């Protein structure tokens, strides 16, 4: 019998709601309070963005959050320590995954200083980054700028550390969908629309067709992200998959509500989770 990973367990009791937050936006204590509110209000898995200077998959809302967090001096090592505190002190028990970019992982060295001559490369870069993920309590990694054909070193590092490298499938994946899905771990991130993240009025991609191709080769759950902002959209996407992912709408709430952001985000997460509970239809 193959045991489910902690990420897959998040999908075991119905449709999963996966909120996203940029670490350190507008500051690390707000991030902490928002993540606690997310868990308290029904989030099944939480996606934490590690800020990057050139987040190519992100729309203007999350790009702005990235820039603001970096300007305040947030570092990858601080985020590792922060996640460890979430697990040990704040009792965050739901699975958490990082979303970041290949350069952040590939160029990683603990402490931020250049590696010394003769340093063991397996303790730096991909391997060092993934080891620190596991030590902090991170369950998976999403790298939207790493195509399926180039994921080898990242996959090896994740497997060595015992975390899941999350595969992404886009509307343009077409004949590659089944190959990507067959090799997937944790869950599969279905990109709902072409372009970057951000709120969309309508989502026209045939998610059901993509899901059917995925399920022809794997039982790994799949969730839909990019463009979802309302309970109705979340329910519609979850009805055709195993869950929904929301990012930009949450960052907007944080921007709009300041000190009251944790309460507002908590209320939002609860509404979205309630909507997913009504998504009984499965393709």
| Domain boundaries along the sequence of the chain | 14-277
**3-class SS string, the chain:** CCCCCHHHHCCCCCCEEEEEEECCCCCHHHHHHHHHHHHHCCCCCEEEECCCCCCCCCCHHHHHHHHHHHHCCCCHHHHHHHHHHHHHCCCCCCCEEEECCHHHHHCCCCCCCCCCCCCCHHHCHHHHHHHHHHHHCCCEEECCCCCHHHCHHHHHHHHHHCCEEEEEECCCCHHHHHHHHHCCCCCEEEECCCCCCCCCCCCCCCHHHHHHHHHCCCCCCEEEECCCCCHHHHHHHHHCCCEEEECHHHHHHHHHHHHHHHHHHHHHHHHHHHHHHCCCCCC
**Cβ–Cβ < 8 Å for 157, 163:** no
**Cβ–Cβ < 8 Å for 129, 103:** no
Q: How is domain 14-277 classified at the CATH fold level?
A: TIM Barrel (3.20.20)
Q: What is the pLDDT of residue 252?
A: 96
pLDDT in tens, 194-207: 544 444 445 557 88
Q: What is the pLDDT of residue 200?
A: 41
Q: What is the pLDDT of residue 123?
A: 54
Q: What is the pLDDT of residue 13?
A: 87
The whole model's pTM is what?
0.90
Q: What is the pLDDT of residue 244?
A: 96
Per-residue b/e over 125-140, b at no fewer than 16 CB within 10 Å?
Answer: bbbbbbbbbeebbbbb
* Cα angle, residue 86 at apex, residues 84 and 92 outer, rounded to 5°: 125
Q: What is the pLDDT of residue 268?
A: 98
Q: What is the pLDDT of residue 197?
A: 46
* Cα angle, residue 3 at apex, residues 224 and 17 outer, rounded to 5°: 25
The yes-or-no verdict on residue 60 having pLDDT over 60 is yes
Q: What is the pLDDT of residue 111?
A: 67
pLDDT in tens, 92-110: 999 999 999 999 999 998 7
Percent of the chain whose predicted confidence (pLDDT) is above 70: 87
| Cα–Cα distance, 165 to 157 (Å, whole number) | 9
């Amino acid at each position: 019998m193959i045991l489910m990973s902690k990420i897959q367990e998040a999908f075991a009791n119905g449709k999963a709601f996966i909120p996203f937050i940029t670490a350190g936006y507008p500051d690390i204590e707000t991030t902490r309070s928002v993540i606690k509110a997310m868990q308290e209000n029904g989030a099944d898995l939480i996606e934490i963005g590690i800020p990057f200077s050139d987040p190519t998959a992100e729309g203007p809302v999350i790009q702005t959050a990235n820039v603001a967090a970096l300007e305040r001096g947030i570092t990858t090592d601080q985020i590792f320590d922060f996640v460890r505190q979430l697990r040990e002190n704040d009792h965050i028990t739901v699975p958490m995954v990082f979303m970041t970019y290949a350069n952040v992982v590939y160029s990683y060295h603990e402490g931020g200083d250049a590696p010394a001559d003769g340093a063991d490369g397996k303790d730096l870069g991909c391997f060092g980054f993934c080891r620190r993920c596991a030590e902090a309590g991170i369950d998976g990694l999403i790298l939207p700028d790493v195509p399926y054909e180039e994921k080898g070193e990242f996959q090896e590092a994740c497997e060595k550390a015992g975390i899941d490298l999350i595969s992404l499938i886009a509307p343009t994946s077409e004949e590659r969908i089944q190959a990507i899905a067959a090799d997937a771990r944790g869950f599969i991130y279905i990109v709902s629309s072409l372009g970057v993240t951000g709120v969309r009025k309508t989502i026209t991609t045939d998610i059901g067709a993509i899901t059917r191709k995925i399920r022809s080769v794997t039982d790994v759950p799949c969730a839909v992200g990019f463009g979802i902002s309302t309970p109705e959209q979340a329910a519609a996407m979850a009805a055709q998959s195993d869950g929904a992912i929301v990012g930009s709408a949450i960052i907007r709430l944080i921007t709009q509500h300041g000190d009251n952001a944790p309460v507002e985000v908590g209320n939002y997460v609860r509404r979205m989770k309630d909507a997913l509970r009504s998504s009984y239809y499965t393709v």
